Amino acid sequence: MLEALSHLYLPGALTLWCAIFFGVATLWGYARALRDDGASLGFARSGYLFFTLSILLAGAVLFLALWRRDFRIEYVQQYSGMELAEHFQLAAFWAGQKGSFLIWLMWGAVLGLPLLRTAGRSEPTVMSVYLLTLFGLLFILVRENPFVMLPETPMDGAGLNPLLQDDWMVIHPPIMFIGYASAAVPFSFALAALWRGDFSTWATRAFPWALAGFLVLGLAIMLGGYWAYETLGWGGYWGWDPVENASLIPWLIGGVLIHGLYLERSRGRYRRLNLVLSCLLYLSVLYGTFLTRSGVLADFSVHSFVDLGISGWLVALMAFFFFASIFLLATRLRHVPTRTNEDPMLSRGTALVLATLTLGASALVVTFGTSAPLITGWFMESPGQVGPEFYNTVNMPLALMLSILLATVPFLTWRGVEPGKLLRRLVPSFLAAVAITVLGLIIGLEEVFHAVFLFLAAWASTANLHRVIELVRDRGVVGIGGYLSHVGVGVMLIGVLASGAYDQSAKVTLPQGEAVAVDDMSFTFTRFIPRQGREKERMEVLVERGNDRFTLYPKLFVNDRTRQLMANPDIRTTPLQDLYVSPIQYLPPQPPRVDERVDMAQGERVRIGPLDIRFIDYQVEGGDPRVALASGRSVEVGAVLEVSRDGDSQRLEPIFRFRSDGRVETPPLELAQSGTLALTGIDPNSGRIQLDILGVQADELPARLSIDVTQKPLIQLVWLGLAIILTGGGLSTLKRFKTVRKLDEQEAAAAAVG
């Protein structure tokens, strides 16, 4: 027993065991509370408080270990290092799988505290389901323990991947995990309602939570997109990669759910569907985690996902909640009271139903596309995948449909409107959208389809803006949340169109000190700035555009950890567009005479001054070296090289000779134009060879920097639109939490009377 424990860091491991203990106690307390009319609620709540404290303590222990750089702990060794700056210790916390699950669990536990206060009479059942979801994560952590210790204490850690040493990476993942954790809340309300057979208030109570989760996940996706844009240097913010889709799918389902809950609250519709949607929301979070953490997509993504042995756990967890949901839905759903659809055609109800269908269709196609390797693996001969093209094309009609709905919905009422009246109400926003489209055509819209897209997106914004203005004028800010969000959706769609379809890109090579013109700008590569402390190698590029002069510093450096060449773009942001400069390649200046020592592996190719050298193969002569040397013969090891200069190539076979008297000879060979080459070393372990190249005469060349220059018009609208969506959603969330408080008061009053 003790031996099995000795590889764990006890303070950390203890906190996890305490969490299990208090979690079980809480479950027991809630189970009793179901039968003793709430007398055990106090016990259960204290149990939950201690459960939460234990988990927070586990997080604190891991954080302290990172802070103190306690490399005894494997996780610390893997993600931290002596060189790592203090504030990136936080990024190291969630850089790995174990830390990610821990932060997810921490948020889950913390969210449970306000949850038990807003669950009302259903608290015992809601909290029991909720605790079970947390137990799933807790078991994964006990199995894949972040507190595993190494047999020996290393001097230094492996360090954190430099891509994650970024301020956005300090805040993006934890926000993402708040979103993931919050998906369990509507799920718990739904399962609890099914379990108790009481469907009267769950939607009211789950609504603000669904909204808040939707917001937080949206914020996280936006931060992730911005990180990709400003750090990765491939020029975009969204690439439809499985990792991105794994967070988008729950977000889209969350979008369907909040509109469904709105329909249920306002019209009593979607009562059954919302229960299903709440289950789907949580299951989609688990499914996304499974896709990205289990290694099933290893061959299909640039992220080389690895299976750390948790895929079995994730599958078990998914299966458990899937079958629990199916069982409860199958047995209880028919007891849910429904209301027949009496909404007129031209009414808000119809528009909302269509909107949920549209968002749902988008969620479905993204899920289908992301799962393509799995689905095709089952049903087809050879598994395959789909690229961004698929997602863009398929979502396009959905975005148009959504825009039309968004434009009309502010002026539709539940009871329906006369078509004539609706049209009159739509006139101002229609004219505004036409004006925007005309402006777009003047600026340079090229395709009719783009004009249609711009018009509809603009109309979605202007119509909702119109309604927001009316509401603020008549009733203040209460109730503008939804409309304000919809203004943001239109703005964001315009930004996506402009920056996606109208970006201009050019690859240019800049000789140092020489101005090169691109479009109406001039670029001068002024100098290469070597690494200074933690600041990576940077390129100084002076940009002139009319009277505007500024300097950009794109980075190009070798990742210390992976030895991979990394490029970080630099961005000049102006209100109307971003100038995005991403470095591609840097060639150091070439001196007039080249003397250099290089080492290379077989198959490798290097460029030395004007020479291009390829190491093709070895050549060993003289038989077994030991026999040869013992019998007084010498042993020769040769390398077969191909050396090209200015298009002429030459085959060279330099040799490295061990003589029987112990001396070594490395005869230099003449190169075609000038200089010599000799094989001066062979590393028997790595198989690498060392070459000495001397006296190569070359033309003096300045350093050259190749960059990718992209102008992204109106990309600010993407971020602005998202910010508006989030602000509007925030207002709605506050409003819906107030409704819950009112419900609490009513229930308290009813209990007092009863």
Partner 1 sequence: MNDTTRKTLTYLLGATMLLVFAGFSYSKFTSALTPYVSYEKAIESERAVQVAGGLEQGSSMYDDTEGLLRFTLVDPERPGETMRVRYEGLKPANFEDAISIVAIGQYDAGAEEFAANDLLVKCPSKYQGVEEYDEKSYGSESAPSVEPAMMTTNTAASSG
- Least distance between partner 1 and beta carbon 611 (Å): 13
Q: Which amino acid belongs to residue 714?
A: L
For helices 123-143 and 41-67, the axis angle rounded to 10 degrees is: 30
Q: Which stretch binds partner 1 (CB under 8 A): 388-396, 439-447, 477-485, 625-633?
A: 388-396
Residue 86 DSSP symbol: T
- Least distance between partner 1 and beta carbon 361 (Å): 6
Taking the least distance from each CB to partner 1, the nearer of 132 and 613 is 613
Q: Which stretch binds partner 1 (CB under 8 A): 121-129, 189-197, 203-211, 525-533?
A: 525-533
List the one residue from 114, 309, 384, 623 that touches partner 1 (CB under 8 A).
384
Structure tokens at 76: 């610390």
Taking the least distance from each CB to partner 1, the nearer of 491 and 556 is 556
List the one residue from 53, 148, 158, 422 that touches partner 1 (CB under 8 A).
158
Taking the least distance from each CB to partner 1, the nearer of 564 and 660 is 564
The reply on whether position 389 binds partner 1 by CB under 8 A is: yes
List the one residue from 167, 514, 548, 617 that touches partner 1 (CB under 8 A).
617
| Burial class of residue 385, CB neighbours in 10 A (0-12, 13-18, 19+) | middle
Using CA atoms, how far apart are residues 612 and 593, in angstroms rounded to an integer?
Answer: 16
Helix (H, G, I), strand (E, B) or coil at 641: strand
Site for partner 1 in 658-687 (CB under 8 A): 686
Taking the least distance from each CB to partner 1, the nearer of 530 and 662 is 530
The reply on whether position 604 binds partner 1 by CB under 8 A is: yes
With CA atoms as reference, report the closest residue to 535 among 572, 568, 579: 568
Structure tokens at 175: 């926000």
The reply on whether position 368 binds partner 1 by CB under 8 A is: yes
Torsion 212-217-218-219 (CA) sign: positive
Using CA atoms, how far apart are residues 689 and 615, in angstroms rounded to an integer?
Answer: 9
Site for partner 1 in 563-602 (CB under 8 A): 563-567, 582-588, 598-602
Helix (H, G, I), strand (E, B) or coil at 746: helix
Site string for partner 1, 625-664 (x = CB under 8 A): ----------------------------------------
Taking the least distance from each CB to partner 1, the nearer of 563 and 626 is 563
Site for partner 1 in 303-322 (CB under 8 A): 303-306, 308
Q: Which stretch binds partner 1 (CB under 8 A): 4-12, 161-169, 542-550, 719-727?
A: 161-169
Site for partner 1 in 116-135 (CB under 8 A): none
- Least distance between partner 1 and beta carbon 340 (Å): 10
The reply on whether position 615 binds partner 1 by CB under 8 A is: yes
Taking the least distance from each CB to partner 1, the nearer of 383 and 625 is 383
Q: Which stretch binds partner 1 (CB under 8 A): 41-49, 175-183, 513-521, 556-564?
A: 556-564
Using CA atoms, how far apart are residues 447 and 675, in angstroms rounded to an integer?
Answer: 59
Using CA atoms, how far apart are residues 370 and 300, in angstroms rounded to an integer?
Answer: 10
Taking the least distance from each CB to partner 1, the nearer of 78 and 711 is 78
Using CA atoms, how far apart are residues 488 and 724, in angstroms rounded to an integer?
Answer: 5
Site for partner 1 in 392-431 (CB under 8 A): 393-394, 397-398
The reply on whether position 527 binds partner 1 by CB under 8 A is: no
Contact 648, 661 (CB under 8 A): no
Q: Which helix (H) or strand (E) holds 678?
A: strand 676-682
Site string for partner 1, 214-233 (x = CB under 8 A): --------------x---xx
Using CA atoms, how far apart are residues 201 and 271, in angstroms rounded to an integer?
Answer: 11
Taking the least distance from each CB to partner 1, the nearer of 306 and 478 is 306
Using CA atoms, how far apart are residues 298 and 305, in angstroms rounded to an integer?
Answer: 5
Site for partner 1 in 279-308 (CB under 8 A): 299, 301-306, 308
Name every residue whose Cβ is closer than 8 Å to that of residue 530 and which is 6 or more positions away in sequence: 537
Name every residue whose Cβ is closer than 8 Å to that of residue 709 and which is 6 or more positions away in sequence: 505, 506, 507, 508, 518, 521, 523, 579, 580, 581
Q: Which stretch binds partner 1 (CB under 8 A): 190-198, 452-460, 476-484, 552-560?
A: 552-560
Name every residue whose Cβ is closer than 8 Å to that of residue 562 and which is 6 or more positions away in sequence: 161
Using CA atoms, how far apart are residues 438 and 287, in angstroms rounded to an integer?
Answer: 45
The reply on whether position 449 binds partner 1 by CB under 8 A is: no
Residue 150 DSSP symbol: P
The reply on whether position 369 binds partner 1 by CB under 8 A is: yes
Torsion 589-590-592-597 (CA) sign: positive
Residues shown for the chain: 754
Q: Which stretch binds partner 1 (CB under 8 A): 38-46, 277-285, 381-389, 445-453?
A: 381-389
- Least distance between partner 1 and beta carbon 260 (Å): 16
The reply on whether position 690 binds partner 1 by CB under 8 A is: no
Q: Which amino acid belongs to residue 72?
A: R
DSSP string, 5-19: HTTB-HHHHHHHHHH
The distance of Cα 365 from the centroid of its chain, to the nearest Å, equals: 19
List the one residue from 383, 622, 668, 702 that touches partner 1 (CB under 8 A).
383
Taking the least distance from each CB to partner 1, the nearer of 361 and 734 is 361
* Helical residues (DSSP H) of 80-166, grouped into ranges: 88-93, 97-118, 123-143
The reply on whether position 361 binds partner 1 by CB under 8 A is: yes
Site for partner 1 in 693-722 (CB under 8 A): 708
Taking the least distance from each CB to partner 1, the nearer of 443 and 601 is 601
The reply on whether position 345 binds partner 1 by CB under 8 A is: yes
The reply on whether position 71 binds partner 1 by CB under 8 A is: no
- Least distance between partner 1 and beta carbon 424 (Å): 23
With CA atoms as reference, report the closest residue to 458 among 448, 447, 450, 469: 450
Binding-residue total with partner 1 (CB under 8 A)? 90
Q: Which stretch binds partner 1 (CB under 8 A): 418-426, 516-524, 562-570, 571-579?
A: 562-570
- Least distance between partner 1 and beta carbon 200 (Å): 28
Site for partner 1 in 81-110 (CB under 8 A): 95-97, 100
The reply on whether position 506 binds partner 1 by CB under 8 A is: no
Taking the least distance from each CB to partner 1, the nearer of 47 and 583 is 583
Q: Tokens 């009719």 belong to which residue? A: 448
Using CA atoms, how far apart are residues 709 and 127, in angstroms rounded to an integer?
Answer: 53
Taking the least distance from each CB to partner 1, the nearer of 230 and 708 is 708
Contact 301, 372 (CB under 8 A): no
Gyration radius of the chain over CA positions: 32
The reply on whether position 386 binds partner 1 by CB under 8 A is: yes
List the one residue from 42, 268, 312, 387 that touches partner 1 (CB under 8 A).
387
With CA atoms as reference, report the closest residue to 696 among 656, 646, 657, 651: 646
Taking the least distance from each CB to partner 1, the nearer of 146 and 721 is 146
Q: N- to C-terminal Cα distance for the chain?
A: 56
Torsion 52-57-62-68 (CA) sign: positive
Q: How many CA atoms, within 13 angstroms, populate the side-chain half-sphere of residue 335?
A: 13
Site for partner 1 in 233-272 (CB under 8 A): 233-234, 239, 241, 243
List the one residue from 2, 152, 382, 448 that touches partner 1 (CB under 8 A).
382
